Structure formats: C-alpha cells, structure tokens
Amino acid sequence: MALASLEKKITDLRHLLHQYGYQYYVLDNPTVPDAEYDRLMQELIDLEAQHPELITPDSPSQRIGGQPLEGFVKVEHNIPMLSLANAFNEQDLREFDRRVRDGLALETVDYVCELKIDGLAVSLRYQDGLFQQGATRGDGSIGEDISQNLRTIRSIPLKIDETNTIEVRGEAFMPKKSFIRMNKEREEQGLELFANPRNAAAGSLRQLNPKIAAERHLDIFLYAVGEWQAGTIATHSERLTYLNKLGFKINQEWKKCQGINQVIEYVEAWIDKRNDLSYDIDGIVIKVDRLDYHDILKTTAKSPRWAIAYKFPAEEAVTKLIDVILSVGRTGVVTPTALLEPVQVAGTTVQRASLHNEDYIQEKDIQLNDAVVIKKAGDIIPEVVRVIREQRDETVRPFKMPDHCPSCGAELERLEGEVALRCMNPNCPAQLKEGLIHFASRNAMNIDGLGEKIVEQLYTYKLVHQVTDLYQLEREKLLELERMGAKSVDNLLRAIEASKSNSLERLLFGLGIRFVGVTAAKLLAIAFGEIEKIQQASYEELIAIDEIGEKMADSIVRYFSNEKVALMLEKLKQLGVNTSYLGVKPTSEKINAVFQDKTIVLTGKLKQLTRDEAKGKIEDMGGKVTGSVSKKTDLLIAGEEAGSKLSKAEQLGIDIWNEQQFVEKIE
C-alpha cells in the first residue's frame, strides 16, 4: 500500500474510532456492536505496529501504554483548584443567596445547579487541540501528574476542536456497575474489598501502572475550567454547553434556576432520586450563572463566594459502643474516639466514630456498651449522634475522661473558653511525635518515607526529639533500626536533604502554629518574604493582611515570642533549611512595564534561568505566560533547541527574543 493511502487509511480508522467511542462513552448511545469496534481497533494497532512513525499522541491506540511509573510528578495549578463551602439545610442555602445578592446589590440572581459527583477532582490540559496533561487537585495549589491513568478513561477526548490552550476540570468516578464487578473479582481472588466507589476511583488513579487503571473502567464528568484562552463566555451555563460541544462529557442533569426557591426545589427533588443514578452523588453544587458576577464576588482563602455545595443529609445506622480510646494531638488536645461494632454507613464500613470532647459525652449521656446511632457528618466523618436508651441493659457503664494525659501523665487542663481537655506539657511524647509527623507531612515539608511508624521508631530509639533532630540523623544509626535497609535509609536521607530547599510557606505550615493552615502560611510567606520578618511582625501588621483574623494573628505573635522557638529556627537555618519565600510574589505596582498585559510563551532550553524563574520574572513585570503559540501571543522567548513553537511564531509574525535579550530586559 502506498504511503499516502496508508496514512489516509489510518486517519479514517482513527476518525471512526473517535466517533464510535464518543457515541458509546459520552453519549451512552452506541451505534456499532462491540465486536466491530474491537475489530477496527485491532486493525489500527496492526497498521501502527508496522509503521510506528505514523503513530500520533491522539490515536485511540495510545490510551493505554507506556511502562509503569516510578512515582508521580508534582504539578502546580496556575489557577488554584479551590474547595467549596458547604450548606447542610435550606437555611444555609438562603443565607448563601442573601450574601450573594448583598454582594451584587440585586433582588434576585440566576444560579446553575449541578449534581455533586462523589469522586476525585482532576484537571485536564489541552494545547493545540491535544490532551497534554492531567493532574489531581492535591492541596488546591499543587497536585500530581496522573496523565497516563486519565488517558485510560474512554470518555476523556484525546483531541478536541479547539487550538487555544484550555484547562478543564471535573470529577473522575467509578460507576456503580464497575465497582460491583471489581469487588466481585477481588473477592474471588481473596483480596481486600474497596469500601466504596469513591475510594476505588481514587486508588485506581494513583496506580503507577496505567494498565491497572484501565481495568477499573472509570468515567468522568467535566464541570469547570481553569486556564482559558478560548474566547469570552458570559455565563456558566453557556460554558457547560460549549464544553459539551467540544466533546467533553457533561452531566446532563444540570439546571439553570431563577432565584433560590427554584434551587431549593431542585435540591429537594434530588434528595429522593439520588439512589436511582448509576453513579454516586453526595450533594448538589450551586453556582452563580453570570461569570462577571464571579469577579465581583471573588473568593475567600479557601473557597469561592459565588458557589456552594449542598451536602445531602447523612445516612444513619445503629451499632454498639464497645470502648472509648484517647488520642493526644500535636496541640495537646485529648480526643475521645468510640470503638464500635462494625456497621455500614453511607457505603463504608465504620468501626470508629468521633465523640468530640467530654462535654459532648455528658450532654448525650453516652455510656460504654450503649446502643448508639451514628452518622457521617457531611457524608465524611462518622460521629455518635445519640443513644438508644430503651436498649440499655445491666452491662452499660459510665465513661469518664481522665484527669491526666494518657501519654505523659501530666495533669490535663481546660483553657478558658474551650471545651477540650489539653495536655500543657511541651515535652509530652504524643505531642512531639504528632508534631514531627505533621512537619514531615505532604502539605508541610513533604519528607517522603517519614510516616507515623518511622517517627515512632526514631522517637523510641531517641534519635529525634524535635524537628531540628531530623536534619542531624546519621546513616549508621538509622541502619540499626528494624526494617530499615540501606536503600530505605538512603531514600529517607535524600528526602530530608531535599526538604531543606522548600519555600517558606511549607516550613510555616510544618511548624504547626495554631490556626495557621496551608493557605494562611502562604499568605504570610508572600507578605513578609523572610521568617525573620514574621518573627518581628506586630499584631497590627498581621491583622492588616487579608484573611488573617484576630485569633490567628494573636497565635502567631505568641508562637514567635517563645524563646525556644527562636532557638529552634536559628538551628534550622544553621542546618541549611531555607527560611525564605521562593515563589512568585505578586506586586501591587509592576516592577517594569515592559511585559505589562502581554501574553508570552517560553520555549527551548534556558541557560541563565530556570523555566520557573523566567516565568516568575515575567509575572512580576505584569506579563502572562502561556504554553502554546497563537494569534494572541505577544512575544516568544526562545532558548536553545527551540522547535515547533518557534516555527509557528515566525509564521504568525510574532516578536521573538533570544534568552540574552530577555535577561538584558529584566535586568
């Protein structure tokens, strides 16, 4: 067969397979038998095997392939993937509506209601019409590249009819039938069963081998966008329609509602219908329809003010409270947890439930061996909600919180205005260990391999007492520990060494300052730049920062006024731990107007700056960095070995600089 005819044959096969796949996986309306689809796919695979030079990334044959990964690469979201605030009843929804109308000075607002899919939030990035990268939400700012696994989801298009760079966001999930089939297979193989479809979906997308992910038959619904260079769209409802037109799978149960009363009617209807679906939902998402209103309402540090998630009433179950165990957190709070006879609640097996604090136990009159009702608060955290007193018998006995810390024996205290009992001993082993675990955690210093069991060992053998000790661990001492071979020790030491280069916000969060979460830590790092400046900051300076409240400001001042904290930070600096903010710092006045409001593309290898450094400089100077060249691109900065982007920029007549020109401008 002539090469031209072969190329046409392959192109026609791909077109047919894309079409049939879209009809089957997106429209749920197959037009050919499975056997015909399989025959065409095999024909394509055979032709591509004979002519590998004709294989393209968007070929249907490339969904499942590649070797298993060694690990997942971190991905920074240029536009954060924020979580939503929750509503649990009609009053919460009406209060949300009031805040929206007050913020917009309107009598009524149009909303879009969508089913809240119970899965894993992901983002999909497309450049020049091709699927380039898929990532998890992670902490909202940084996720993980799971492109290989997302490619296995047949309802995700590998190619779209949109050449501008766009990033779409949605929820990957496991349909109920896939979940039932998979658990049946696991049961036959003697493997542990997945508790619910959500856990199964999350576990599938974190498989290092994409072939395993492909076997799980996941699906996806898209509902939002991140970066968007595909022109202006006025409303969220129009955006959903456009995404659907591009070939993305959109949940068709969405509805535009005029005012909050229609929203409440939609919510109430789905409370009754939720179990009729072929997939799990755990609520309804309500969004202001007009996108320009989103800009007016803005966002808080954690969630947008123009959207809210209504959480369905929690399912309840009855079981027996066998015992109460106590745990001591890193801030010294002693928390009681109920041990229960196993019971199914909202699709998961529950054996433990929160009892919150001593006042809660007394108020509910909870006793050992009681028959209790438990529910999942917000469908997530199990808690004991009430006792069935009619079922009490002679085996029931009261439970009393201790007077002394179960970890160190120090007398417990209740601070003014608090309900929690707290251990005030700064050398309490439980607090120290929890503090070390928190310091090493993913959103803090991200020390891979330093989990709960390793910290327990290090503490037991007196190798660590506080965070500074982590940076003074000796290889020979670690090799003496159980289950710590040479490879594990070397990996751990490398991870500890790498954590020294983290940006300031990770260190701040890792220190465990009361009330300072991930978002607040980054705000502080951006505002002050250096940890010394935060140490010296006054209450008034802190409270002046958006999102830093009175309690948090007071907590920060108290923390840094502690002499032991100052000594610890000085020691960390001596050990080589970075204490400066390394990210891009927004400025109210741009340093230089040379890039003001310009769209810039970086390509090729840069010698004098890293790609992230160059991007940061451009953004500091008012520019916007994108990943692909289009008519909207103002400038291309080309390093060595620049390829197709350079050629395209030359064709479009776009201004092109080399690296030296760029460096001279920014200096």
- Give the orientation angle of helix 3-21 with respect to helix 34-50, to 10 degrees: 150
Within-domain flag for 192 = yes
The pLDDT score that the predictor gives to residue 274 is 86
Whether 424 maps to a domain, the answer reads no
CATH number at residue 23: 1.10.287.610
Both 138 and 262 in one domain: the answer is yes
Residue 590, pLDDT > 50, answer: no
Chosen domain end from 481, 499, 517? 499
Q: For the ranges 3-17, 51-65, 274-288, which has the lowest average pLDDT?
A: 51-65
| Same domain for 608 and 522 | no
Helix (H, G, I), strand (E, B) or coil at 30: coil
Q: Are strands 655-658 and 635-638 parallel, antiparallel or unpaired?
A: parallel
Tell me what pLDDT residue 223 has: 96
Q: Cα(56)–Cα(61) distance, rounded to whole angstroms?
A: 9
| Predicted confidence (pLDDT) at residue 576 exceeds the cutoff of 90 | yes
pLDDT value of position 66: 54
pLDDT in tens, 158-184: 999 998 999 999 999 999 999 888 888
Mean pLDDT of 214-242: 92
Check pLDDT > 90 for residue 382.
Answer: no
Please list the residues that pair with 115 across neighbouring strands: 284
Which two structure tokens, joined as six digits, stand for 269? 């209807």
Question: Is 271 in the same domain as 354?
Answer: no
- How many other C-beta atoms lie within 10 A of the C-beta of residue 231? 9
Residue 6 has pLDDT above 90, yes or no: no
* Whether 158 and 263 share a structural domain: yes
Judge whether 311 counts as a catalytic residue. no
Residue 488 lies in a domain: yes
Res 169: pLDDT = 96
Looking at the structure, do residues 201 and 270 belong to the same domain, yes or no? yes
Residues 442 and 552 reside in one and the same domain = no
Q: What pLDDT sits at residue 578? A: 96
Q: Which of 311, 332, 357 is the last residue of a domain?
A: 311
Beta strands 307-311 and 86-87 are parallel
Q: Is it the case that residue 69 has pLDDT exceeding 80?
A: no
* Distance in angstroms (rounded) separating the CA atoms of residues 158 and 61: 11
φ and ψ at residue 74, rounded to 5 degrees = -70, 145
**Nearest partner of 106 among 301, 258, 326, judged by Cα:** 258
Alpha helices by DSSP H, 378-428: none
**369 vs 515, which has greater pLDDT?**
369
Give percent above pLDDT 90 in the chain.
47
Cα–Cα distance measured from residue 128 to residue 557, given in angstroms and rounded to the nearest whole number: 50
Would you place residue 613 in the very low, low, confident or very high pLDDT band (cuts 50, 70, 90)?
A: confident
pLDDT of amino acid 47 = 85
Q: Say which of 116, 159, 255, 311 is annotated catalytic.
A: 116
Q: Is 584 a domain residue?
A: no
* Of 263-272, 368-377, 419-428, 655-664, highest mean pLDDT: 263-272
Q: Is the dihedral of CA 355, 357, 360, 364 positive or negative?
A: positive
**The one-letter amino acid at 142:** I
Greater pLDDT, 313 or 496: 496
Reduced 3-state DSSP string for 61-126 = HHCCCCCCCCCCCEEECCCCCCCCCEECCHHHHHHHHHHHHHHHCCCCCEEEEEEEECCEEEEEEE
Number of folded domains that form the chain:
6
According to DSSP, the β-strands at 333-345 and 255-258 are unpaired
**Largest Cα–Cα separation, the chain:** 89
Q: What is the DSSP letter of 433?
A: H
Reported confidence tier of residue 610, pLDDT bands at 50, 70, 90: confident
Residue 459 lies in a domain: yes
Residues 526 and 482 in one domain: no
Distances (CA, A) of 448 to 454, 464, 494, 501, 550: 11, 17, 9, 14, 34
- Report the chain's mean pLDDT, rounded to a whole number: 87
Please check the confidence at residue 264 and state whether its pLDDT lies above 90. yes
Tens digits of per-residue pLDDT, 622-657? 788 877 788 788 898 988 877 778 878 887 888 888
**Do 328 and 394 sit in the same domain of this protein?**
yes
Whether 482 shows a pLDDT value over 60: the answer reads: yes
pLDDT at 190: 66
- 303 with 171, same domain: the answer is yes
What residues contact 125, with CB distance under 8 A and at least 6 apart? Answer: 131, 132, 133, 134, 135, 165, 166, 167, 227, 627
Instruction: Report the alpha-carbon distance of residue 341 to residue 317 in Å, rounded.
Output: 11
**Residue reference for tokens 């590249």:** 145
CATH number for 250: 3.30.470.30
Q: Residue 616 belongs to a domain with what CATH number?
A: 3.40.50.10190
CATH code, 559 = 1.10.150.20
pTM: 0.56
Q: How many residues would you count in the chain?
A: 667
- 379 against 469, higher pLDDT: 469
Render pLDDT for 426-470 as a digit per residue (tens, 0 to 9). 789 999 999 999 999 988 999 998 988 999 999 999 999 999 999
- Could you tell me the sign of the dihedral formed by the alpha carbons of 144, 148, 153, 155, in that order? positive
Give the separation between CA 210 and CA 65, rounded to whole angstroms. Answer: 7
CA angle 653, 657, 659 (to 5 degrees): 155
Angle at 482 between CA 209 and CA 457, to 5 degrees: 95
- Picking from 21-35, 138-152, 211-225, 456-470, which range would have the lowest pLDDT averaged per residue? 21-35
> Do 116 and 250 reside in the same domain of the chain?
yes
Query: Which residue among 46, 62, 78 closes a domain?
Result: 62
Q: Are 155 and 220 in contact (CB under 8 A)?
A: yes
395 Cβ partners below 8 Å, 6+ apart? Answer: 369
Mean pLDDT in residue range 473-497? 92
How far from the centroid of its chain's Cα atoms is residue 648's Cα? 35
| Residue in the block written with tokens 């300072």 | 516
User: Tokens 């009702």 identify what position?
Assistant: 373
Provide the pLDDT for residue 589.
46
Structural tokens at position 186: 């696991």
Q: CA end-to-end span of the chain, whole Å?
A: 58
Contacts of 365 (CB under 8 A, 6+ apart): 387, 389
Query: Is residue 422 one of the residues assigned to a domain?
Result: no
- Residue 584: predicted pLDDT: 66
Between 308 and 32, the more confident residue is 308
Is 80 contained in some domain?
no
Tally of CA atoms within 13 A in the half-sphere of 145 that contains its CB: 13
Q: Which residues pair with 190 in a beta bridge?
A: none
Identify whether residues 349 and 290 lie together within a single domain: no
CA 385 to chain centre: 30
At residue 588, the pLDDT reads: 44
Give me 430's structure tokens. Answer: 């439980």
Residue 421 lies in a domain: no
Q: Give the CA count within 13 Å in the CB-facing half-sphere of 433.
A: 19
Residue 627: predicted pLDDT = 73
Residue 595 pLDDT: 81
Is it the case that residue 505 has pLDDT exceeding 80?
yes
Same-domain check for residues 495 and 541: no
Query: With 70 as the cut, is the pLDDT of residue 28 above it?
Result: no
**Greater confidence, 2 or 527?**
527
Range of the domain at 614: 593-666
